[in-house]
Structure 1
């Protein structure tokens, strides 16, 4: 092989650096265009989850447009009912927040006084150490300004952002549910060969089944947790137990972080409403016990090994997407992680990345029976590929 040919071969380090730079640029684009990308990603996730309902309605003879409208109306009714149940108690708690914070500060005065005493002792030791050092040896104080993350902690801030998000997400979700199959057929037809078409169809099917299965099972688990938390809060005398049940249901879609945030909120409200300070810790401990029972035993038993993910990767996904897209990124972080894992599982070159994300190794993966390909639809004098179901294998016409 000549030296010129060797020079033209790509360097492994150069290829890796190029891919890292490309990935960073893509992430920056996602961050820069978050006001547009977040509703689009939300609509696509909802489409993959709700699409089986529209497909089932089509088998019953209901047109896809009617099925899409019915599915969206059902989703809207559920969201409206949940909002109605918790709106008034939530408003009251938010209105009384300044007064409640002063009450919480007074209730925790004993703990805060001890912490202040520790701080004062540490400051005294520091001052004594600095007194022993001459003026000429004193270090120059340097102030480090922390980056401002406040703008990224809340994506849906302001009426305009909410209206824009709901409009883009709702309209796109309807069109995807009503005509998304036609778009998938067009994408499959545009691929150059049968192997690429089959691979894309399999990836779409895996992502849809993975997301749908995960969200359906997690929604059922969270509903049971919300019911248990509501009953427990009612038995302990907490005000507005329905609010805490709905909060537990919604927050539990965020692994790890959701349980901690819910415990903090319930702990603050319990400190305000109950005179013995220890009783507030009993209420908070009950909430943590229920969420821990769900997270350590119930969820692993139901989801099983096939949907297990590393807590480290889940937490990093929550942090990264939450920093980039705010609260909606926090809620979308786990679905994005699952979709990335299912996509990587479909391609041999990405299988190592899929294994890092939690996929089973080929030796330990459970074998599945191959799905037979449908009969090709013959259309004379044409080479058109017809796909009645984009989640089934694509076959070219002869």
Structure 2
């Protein structure tokens, strides 16, 4: 029971984070303008350029993530439909949307187990066999995301090869936890842009 409440709490946290993010994106121009006006005039040019790099990086990141989310939602929906899980499409779409926060879709195991139990009660199918099929779907989709989707779409937007992407996710994830995983690619892109613009250009 404690584990269920913990998973529900984590799910609530994910939803809350996405809502906060949505509100920030809606008022981003106002927030960004107000924040930049607080910067002293002599530093404003540098800050504006950094903010432009950040905006470009985050826009590219969310476009790439949206492509991943759509693919993951489709894969989950197809997988759950094949094994006969109830509400397969709804659950697949939900898990896809949760994927905006990397690996948060794993919380979806809780409702998936609940639907598996309901399906077993209604049809008389073996619960443990159905649960094994659900775990297989989660595993296959996660592997497809980690090995193919993320390197492909994040690589297209950032120009990084898959090895750099996986290394970036690992490093920032170990330093900042889940937040690090979320901002790994755009933050790495910003640091690289800063290096090219301010370090290499000064040397030339």
The answer on whether the counterparts of 2:173 and 2:180 sit within 8 Å (CA) in structure 1 is no
Residue 291 of structure 1 aligns to a residue whose secondary structure is helix
Does residue 312 in structure 1 map to residue 159 in structure 2?
no
In 2, distance between residues paired with 1:281 and 1:287?
Answer: 10
CA displacement 1:30-68 (0-9 Å, x = unmatched): xxxxxxxxxxxxxxxxxxxxxxxxxxxxxxxxxxxxxxx
Corresponding residue for 2:108?
Answer: 262
Corresponding residue for 2:42?
Answer: 191
The structure that has the greater radius of gyration is 1
In 2, distance between residues paired with 1:318 and 1:259?
Answer: 19
Does residue 282 in structure 1 map to residue 133 in structure 2?
yes
In 1, distance between residues paired with 2:21 and 2:64?
Answer: 28
CA displacement 1:82-136 (0-9 Å, x = unmatched): xxxxxxxxxxxxxxx9xxx9xxxxxxxxxxxxxxxxxxxxxxxxxxxxxxxxxxx
In 2, distance between residues paired with 1:167 and 1:272?
Answer: 33
CA displacement 1:253-278 (0-9 Å, x = unmatched): 333x3354334652453245233222
Once the two structures are TM-superposed, the CA of residue 215 in structure 1 deviates from its matched residue by: 1.2
The answer on whether the counterparts of 2:54 and 2:190 sit within 8 Å (CA) in structure 1 is yes
The answer on whether the counterparts of 2:77 and 2:88 sit within 8 Å (CA) in structure 1 is yes
Once the two structures are TM-superposed, the CA of residue 238 in structure 1 deviates from its matched residue by: 0.8
Unaligned runs of 5+ in 2: none
Once the two structures are TM-superposed, the CA of residue 227 in structure 1 deviates from its matched residue by: 2.0
Residue 191 of structure 1 aligns to a residue whose secondary structure is helix
Corresponding residue for 1:216?
Answer: 63
Once the two structures are TM-superposed, the CA of residue 169 in structure 1 deviates from its matched residue by: 7.5
The answer on whether the counterparts of 1:270 and 1:280 sit within 8 Å (CA) in structure 2 is yes
CA 1:241 to 1:303, structure 2 compared with 1: closer, same or farther past 3 Å?
Answer: same
Residue 302 (structure 1) aligned to one of 144, 153, 157: 153
Once the two structures are TM-superposed, the CA of residue 183 in structure 1 deviates from its matched residue by: 5.5
Residue 100 of structure 2 aligns to a residue whose secondary structure is coil
- 1:107-126 alignment, distance < 5 Å: none
CA displacement 1:346-389 (0-9 Å, x = unmatched): 555xx9xxxxxxxxxx8xxxxxxxxxxxxxxxxxxxxxxxxxxx
In 1, distance between residues paired with 2:63 and 2:194?
Answer: 26
CA 1:239 to 1:314, structure 2 compared with 1: closer, same or farther past 3 Å?
Answer: farther
Residue 203 of structure 1 aligns to a residue whose secondary structure is helix
In 1, distance between residues paired with 2:115 and 2:74?
Answer: 19
The answer on whether the counterparts of 1:203 and 1:342 sit within 8 Å (CA) in structure 2 is no
Cα RMSD between the aligned structures?
Answer: 4.1
The answer on whether the counterparts of 2:154 and 2:185 sit within 8 Å (CA) in structure 1 is no
In 2, distance between residues paired with 1:261 and 1:207?
Answer: 30
Residue 80 (structure 2) aligned to one of 224, 233, 242: 233
TM-score by length of 2: 0.63
In 2, distance between residues paired with 1:247 and 1:284?
Answer: 17
CA displacement 1:163-216 (0-9 Å, x = unmatched): xx969984x6555435744754x4577125xxx72x333322221111111111
Residue 177 (structure 1) aligned to one of 10, 29, 45: 29
Once the two structures are TM-superposed, the CA of residue 240 in structure 1 deviates from its matched residue by: 1.1
The answer on whether the counterparts of 1:259 and 1:291 sit within 8 Å (CA) in structure 2 is no
Once the two structures are TM-superposed, the CA of residue 249 in structure 1 deviates from its matched residue by: 0.7
- More helix by proportion, 1 or 2? 2
- Give aligned pairs, total: 178
